[in-house]
Amino acid sequence: MHTLGFMHEQQRADRDYFVKIDESNIEGASRVNFHNEKGYKLNTDPTSEPYIYAMEPIQ
């Protein structure tokens, strides 16, 4: 789904309306995966990084 420009479901700006995240069960290094992304814009530009490599031949 990242290739299509989507983020993780647990990071959606509206996730708090639907689920409650118990952060005491999240290990320290994994907390970044649960930050709520307010104002996230779907990226549908296939030429943006890091996927540009798939469109250009390696020389």
* CB 17 within 8 Å of CB 9: no
Q: Is the pTM of this model over 0.85?
A: no
Q: Which pLDDT belongs to residue 32? A: 80
How many residues in the chain? Answer: 59
Q: pLDDT grade, residue 21 (50/70/90)?
A: confident
CA atoms within 13 A on the CB side of 49: 0
Q: Specify the higher pLDDT residue, 41 or 36.
A: 36
Whole-number average pLDDT of the chain: 70
Sign of the CA dihedral running 41, 45, 49, 54: positive
- Mean pLDDT score, 30-50: 66
* CB 49 within 8 Å of CB 27: no
